[in-house]
């Protein structure tokens, strides 16, 4: 009796979640690998099995795809070079007994909880050619010749969007790394100091090795976030001017919901998934290094 009761309870508790998750999450994800094999235009039943044609076309015959990939890589590389060192720096500073470090942390994290659409809109205004604060700031310090259309110019559009994405996400990485730095026992730094280590040396030989696991996690997050960029670009520039800020996912959205190339767009989705998966695995391999236990 109790046994049957238990099985019934398990079914009732687990059932709704499993049905919804399988039907509206797992099924579409799995179907993607199948839809990608069709030439499928519009919502009609007008579809044709073409095997790997979409993938071939994407990888060998679509310059926009490679352009998008380069743009995502630019996001990734710039973020790696700027975000990670800055986050590590701020995390180290905030883990000390500085006055107000709680407040600084709260301020730094805030952009990360705003809607990405609001962030995009806010920064579109910052970069606005006529009333944006960037141009009026340049004018006020006498650098008027550097004022420009920012998001409207092919040369400046991508750097501007990348800067915004760093502004948006830096706080997240600070808080993430802060957790690691704070868990390092204080006595380690005292020991290093007694051994004659200066500021930089104790950072290099105590902080870095001991936060390595979390640093790895942060880098993997960064990879996933920069490949998955969509809303920021779509709202700020719609991939323009003339595809100069188009990223993998804005291109996917355009293919699927502007041009109704469902099969092709889904093939792109599969490629993006494989890229994320691949880079994550490679990054984990490259960063394999003895974890220091303490």
Partner 1 sequence: MDSEGYTSNYQTRPLKRGSRWKNFLLHAVLILYSAIVAYPMLWLLLASLKSSRELFESPWGLPSPPQWGNFAKAWVEAGIGRYFLNSVFVTVVSMFFILLIGSMAAYALARFAFPGRGVIQSAFTSGMMFPVFLGIVPLFLLLRNLGMWDNYFGLITAYVAYSLSFTVFILTGFFKQLPNELAEAGLIDGCSHFAVFRKIMLPLAKPGLITAGIFNFFGIWNEYPLALVIIATDSLRTLPLGIANLLMVQHYETDWGALFAGLVIVMLPTLIVYLIFQRQITERLTAGALKG
43-102 residues near partner 1, rule: CB under 8 A: 43, 89-90, 92-100
Rule CB under 8 A: is residue 213 a binding residue for partner 1?
Answer: yes
Rule CB under 8 A: is residue 249 a binding residue for partner 1?
Answer: yes
Encoded tokens for 138: 């340049």
Alpha-helix runs per DSSP H in the chain:
2-21, 27-35, 53-60, 63-95, 101-109, 116-126, 133-140, 154-182, 186-194, 199-202, 208-227, 231-236, 248-253, 262-286
Q: What is the phi/psi pair of residue 135, to 5°?
A: -65, -40
Rule CB under 8 A: is residue 225 a binding residue for partner 1?
Answer: no
Rule CB under 8 A: is residue 269 a binding residue for partner 1?
Answer: yes
Interface with partner 1 (CB under 8 A), residue from 167, 205, 212, 243? 167
User: Minimum Å distance from CB 108 to partner 1?
Assistant: 6
CA distance 281 to 287: 10
Residue with tokens 């997240």: 172
Choose one: 55-63, 70-78, 143-151, 253-261; the region binding partner 1 (CB under 8 A).
253-261
**Taking CB under 8 A as the criterion, which residues in 3-22 touch partner 1?**
5-10, 12-14, 16-18, 20-21
Rule CB under 8 A: is residue 199 a binding residue for partner 1?
Answer: yes
Beta bridge partners of 41: 261
Choose one: 61-69, 73-81, 142-150, 252-260; the region binding partner 1 (CB under 8 A).
252-260
User: Minimum Å distance from CB 266 to partner 1?
Assistant: 5
**Taking CB under 8 A as the criterion, which residues in 127-146 touch partner 1?**
130-133, 136, 140
Residue 268 burial (CB count, 10 A): 25
CA distance 161 to 140: 23
Rule CB under 8 A: is residue 234 a binding residue for partner 1?
Answer: yes
CA distance 178 to 52: 46
Interface with partner 1 (CB under 8 A), residue from 56, 59, 179, 282? 179
Interface with partner 1 (CB under 8 A), residue from 50, 76, 87, 120? 120
3-state secondary structure of 39: strand
Rule CB under 8 A: is residue 286 a binding residue for partner 1?
Answer: no
């Amino acid at each position: 009796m109790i046994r049957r009761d238990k099985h019934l309870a398990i079914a009732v508790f687990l059932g709704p979640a499993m049905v919804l998750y399988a039907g509206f999450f797992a099924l579409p994800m799995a179907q993607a690998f199948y839809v990608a094999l069709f030439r499928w235009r519009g919502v009609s039943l007008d579809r044709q099995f073409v095997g790997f044609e979409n993938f071939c076309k994407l990888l060998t015959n679509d310059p926009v795809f490679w352009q998008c990939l380069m743009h995502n890589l630019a996001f990734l590389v710039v973020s790696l070079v700027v975000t990670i060192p800055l986050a590590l720096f701020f995390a180290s500073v905030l883990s000390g007994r500085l006055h107000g470090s709680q407040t600084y942390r709260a301020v730094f994290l805030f952009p990360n909880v705003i809607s990405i659409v609001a962030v995009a809109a806010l920064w579109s205004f910052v970069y606005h050619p006529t009333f944006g604060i960037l141009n009026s700031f340049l004018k006020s310090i006498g650098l008027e010749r550097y004022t420009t259309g920012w998001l409207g110019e092919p040369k400046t559009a991508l750097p501007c969007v990348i800067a915004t994405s760093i502004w948006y996400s830096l706080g997240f990485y600070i808080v993430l790394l802060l957790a690691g730095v704070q868990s390092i026992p204080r006595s380690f730094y005292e020991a290093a100091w007694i051994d004659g280590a200066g500021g930089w040396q104790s950072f290099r030989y105590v902080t870095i090795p001991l936060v390595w696991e979390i640093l790895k996690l942060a880098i993997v997050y960064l990879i996933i976030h920069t490949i998955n960029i969509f809303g920021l670009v779509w709202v700020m520039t719609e991939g323009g001017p003339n595809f100069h800020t188009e990223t993998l996912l804005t291109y996917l959205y355009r293919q699927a919901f502007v041009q109704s190339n469902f099969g092709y767009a889904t093939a792109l989705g599969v490629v993006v998934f494989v890229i994320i998966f691949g880079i994550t695995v490679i990054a984990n391999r490259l960063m394999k290094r003895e974890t220091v236990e303490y």
